[in-house]
Structure 1
Amino acid sequence: MAGPTPPNPAPLYQHTAHWFDRATTALLGEVPCRLGCTNCCIGPFPITLLDVQTIQQGLPSLSQDQRLRIEQRAIEQTAAMGAAFPQLTQSELLDNWSDLEIDRLVTEFHHYPCPALEPDGRCGIYQYRPLVCRSMGIPTESRGLAHGACEVQTFIPIVRLPSSFREEENRLLQEETLALEALRLATGSAGEEVLLPYGFLAGQRQDGS
């Protein structure tokens, strides 16, 4: 009997990108994200297995040279991370890591660019980028206060997002949670998150290379 079918996350990724575009418009263009602004593309961060699946769907669409360059950067980065944090050689999953351990790794390798970051500041896998990359840049809100999304965002837009945008944001997060659970059931994975560079190499491991 066939097991559960992995979810198709494409609609969730499209809806998240559309939410960002509409939120940017609602903030009257005061979000600083532009082509060439790569502040949030530097330094490793956790991505979900949904992101890994999406990245792996996108890599075959690249030219062979571009894909090899991206994968080679990922190989070099994961080798360095594994040498500094040997537990990564046993399992790439971060679910059992403490926040302190993840912070230590992120701090040590804060200068590493995303393997898909091109020299001109473009994203080499833009159509297949992780969910966090699709929503990054919109100011966050907590207890009625707005906070900048990154250090480039040196001022907070005077205009606040309508509550409907925050409600939609929460719905998207719920959809992500459900899709992740479905993917875990379908794949038998013991966790949900890995560091960004590992997402580019999942296909190689599945092929046994």
Structure 2
Amino acid sequence: MERTVQNYLELLQQIDRWFALSIERYPELIACQGGCSGCCRSLFDITMLDAYLLKLGFDALTAETREKVLVKCRARLELMRQQWPEFRHPFVVNERPEEDWELLMPDEDETPCVLLDANGRCLVYENRPMTCRLHGLPLVDVTGEVLHDEWCTLNFTESDPLELEGLRAPFDTMIRREVALVRDFTQALLGKRISELDTFIPTALLVDFAGLDWHEWLRGFTPVVTDSEEE
């Protein structure tokens, strides 16, 4: 599992280099900077590989800091259970269709991420999930295919970033690599290769990766079949 995590970190670093290069190329168009946490609102679903990496960073924080964050995580979980009363440890969301996830992630939700400190900075920045590293810019593959056509409203206020070739990167290859690593991770964790095993950021911090009998849990796991699982 450690090798998979290391390989995933290398992939995340590749994404970080793309983001930094984008800012270097278009400094007058991109407002993203340290301490800007406008995008860090609402809930975000993440893979269990991201959750594992996030938990590694979280567990390295002081006990006092962890407990303050966990109080917010538990409060967030109670709100989720108003919609999903059966939502239980290890908080895998894939037993419900993605339309149900969206009930927990309304666009108007401005609740700050549980991992932001008082200054709007991430407490586990080096271990943050892939979605956090991609957020704020559109995702356009080197082929010109648009994979994600939204961006932070503070960026590109007077231009169309979809037309900027300097923002392009091999996202199709990187996403395929991510899926392969998730499958490697689930093989190590569950003894079975699964393409989609997801949770939310607050619930990721409540997962007991070491204490849970994942093989026993898998016996009762009934995922909603998606296109990627069918392939």
Match of 1:178, SS state, is helix
TM (norm. structure 1) is: 0.82
Residue 79 (1) aligns with residue 84 (2)? no
User: Matches of residues 1-209 of structure 1 in structure 2 within 5 Å?
Assistant: 7-8=4-5, 9-89=8-88, 92-107=91-106, 110-141=109-140, 147-153=149-155, 155=157, 157=159, 160-162=163-165, 166-188=168-190, 191-203=196-208, 206-207=210-211
Counterpart CA distance in 2 for 1:139 and 1:25 is 16
Q: Which amino acid aligns with 2:165?
A: P
Counterpart CA distance in 2 for 1:71 and 1:109 is 24
Give 5+ residue unaligned stretches, structure 1: none
CA contact (8 A) 2:29 2:156 kept: no
Counterpart CA distance in 2 for 1:47 and 1:60 is 18
1:38-93, Cα deviation, whole Å (9 max, x unpaired):
22111001011111111111123212211221122112211221233113137622
Structure 2 CA distance for partners of 1:157 and 1:89, relative to 1, 3 Å: same
Give 5+ residue unaligned stretches, structure 2: 213-231
Structure 2 CA distance for partners of 1:108 and 1:97, relative to 1, 3 Å: farther
Q: CA RMSD in A?
A: 3.0
Compute the displacement of 1:14 (Å).
Answer: 1.6
Compute the displacement of 1:106 (Å).
Answer: 0.8
Higher relative contact order (CA 8 A, sep 6+): 1
Match of 1:47, SS state, is strand
Q: Which amino acid aligns with 2:63?
A: Q
TM (norm. structure 2) is: 0.75
Compute the displacement of 1:114 (Å).
Answer: 1.1
CA contact (8 A) 2:115 2:122 kept: yes
1:109-129, Cα deviation, whole Å (9 max, x unpaired):
823221101121111111111
Compute the displacement of 1:158 (Å).
Answer: 5.4
Counterpart CA distance in 2 for 1:21 and 1:52 is 24
Percent of residue pairs identical: 20
Q: Which amino acid aligns with 2:60?
A: S
Q: Which has the higher helix share?
A: 1
1:115-166, Cα deviation, whole Å (9 max, x unpaired):
1011211111111111111111122458679944134436264564437x63
